[in-house]
Amino acid sequence: MRIAIPKETHPGEYRIPITPTHAKKLCAMGAELEVEAGMGAGSGFTDAEYSAVGATISQDRNAMFGNADLLLRLRKPEPDEIRLMKRGAIHISYLDPFNEHTLVNAFKDAGVTAISMEMIPRTTRSQKMDALSSQANLAGYVMVMQAAIHLPRIFPMMMTPAGTLKPANVFVIGAGVAGLQAIATAKRLGAKVTAFDTRPVVAEQVRSVGAKFLEIDLGETGETTDGYAKQLTPEQIAIQRQAQKEVIAKSDVVITTAQVFGRKPPILVTKDMIEGMASGSVIVDMAAETGGNVEGSVPNEIVQVAGVTVIGKGNLAGEVARDASQMYSANLFSLVEDNWSEDDKKFMVDFEHDILPGCIITHGGEVTNTTIKNILEGGA
Ligand code: NAD
């Protein structure tokens, strides 16, 4: 099977899909591996490292798309790139299938099997393939680093002959994978951390990493069978905002990570709450790119709102591209390995597999994922 790994072209993207370690393993499994010249450069890997493990280096990007049986990458492709692919070829990457309707239709029309990394189920067995978690974990760390750089104070308490500095107060809203890592990172730096999440099971996880859980009675909230938060009613959002207001006013740093899978994130920090914070405080809105948890946050920018620095940077994991690449590559390789036929030396698109079917968006000229199909047909 011919596997192609093209270079990521999105501006500012230094993460890569496959490191030489996993390229070597793919070659050992019998794949014919083609890597675009310069593919690994963003994360510090040279072409020579890929050719040393058995890959061919290609200068012809279009030919790579046209000849590949399987394309492995990080970001979604351009529709024009999909049109270059063979019918029956397989494409694996992030796809954002809930929002990228044109892209999904382009895959369908081209007869390409599109597999979405976002749709890997959050089960114990698929943990090693779970790129959302690996990248969110790093994003949690980076958010705290960003806040620490912009805050004109230090995080830990410091007792010196020149006086005592109080620890910074950090409030984390949304304690999923990224939020819990942000809490743990802020704690390691010596901050006093409070957190809130709508899923009741999270309270214990927050306490176990040494933070205080803010109790807010929102009535029935619960979580989906996949462990995701359910969307709150407008009344519940109003209660949450009111209850958080005082904590936010006393916080030096607010980090928001609240997401509802497949939906726009809720606005949880409003302009009046920002106005209640001390000048120089910092807010990091991890959801800025998808609509934002914070009123006034701007995707990919750092702005001042009422004297508060509001950071809306996207691609946070990309700030630590080398580690992010290593983890994404491990996730992607595990997915391929799990679906690889040793006898046929190829990736099997098997609708009886326990993990794969939910991640397949299009196959054989059809949208096979029922959730995405319903959205495209306007049914959800
Ligand atoms: P996510 O990115 O979808 O959301 C981030 C957090 O925001 C979640 O914890 C969610 O409950 C919270 N949230 C939503 N609305 C909120 C609101 N109004 N206020 C405050 N918080 C709000 O979540 P995620 O980090 O991707 O994790 C989703 C779930 O998947 C979690 O239960 C996590 O433990 C689980 N998970 C399981 C595995 C596994 O078992 N292999 C792996 C990864 C994640």
Instruction: Identify whether 130 is a catalytic site residue.
Output: yes
% of residues, the chain, pLDDT over 70: 99
- Does the annotation mark 141 as catalytic? no
Q: Which domains does the chain have, with CATH numbers?
A: 2-120+321-372 (3.40.50.720), 138-315 (3.40.50.720)
The Cα–Cα gap between 239 and 228 comes to: 20
Of all residues in the chain, what percent carry a pLDDT higher than 90?
Answer: 90
What are the two backbone dihedrals, phi and then psi, of residue 38, each rounded to the nearest 5 degrees?
A: 85, 5
Please give the average per-residue pLDDT across 238-264, as a whole number: 92
Give the contacts of 185 (CB within 8 A, at least 6 positions apart).
140, 141, 144, 145
pLDDT digits (tens, 9 = 90+) for 162-196: 999 999 999 999 999 999 999 999 999 999 999 99
Q: How far apart are CA 41 and CA 5, in angstroms?
A: 13
Q: Which one of the listed residues 61, 69, 127, 153 is annotated catalytic? A: 127
Model confidence pLDDT, tens digit, residues 281-330: 999 999 998 899 999 999 999 999 999 999 999 999 999 999 999 999 99
Residue 236 has pLDDT above 60, yes or no: yes
Taking 3-state DSSP, the helix, strand and coil percentages for the chain, each rounded to the nearest 5, stand at: 40, 20, 45
CA of 161 to the centre of ligand 1 (A): 44
pTM exceeding the 0.85 threshold for the entire prediction: yes
Q: What is 316-332 written as a DSSP string?
A: SGGGGHHHHHHHHHHHH
> What's the gap in Å between 231 CA and the centre of ligand 1?
12
pLDDT tens for each residue of 38-64: 999 999 999 999 999 999 999 999 999
284 close to 147: Cβ distance less than 8 angstroms:
yes
The rounded Å distance from CA 154 to ligand 1 centre is 29
Q: Does residue 86 contact residue 105 with C-beta atoms inside 8 Å?
A: no
State in Å, rounded, how far the first CA of the chain is from the last one. 37
Judge if the beta carbon of residue 172 lies within 6 A of ligand 1.
Answer: no
* pLDDT tier at 72, thresholds 50, 70, 90: very high
Q: Specify whether 134 is catalytic.
A: no
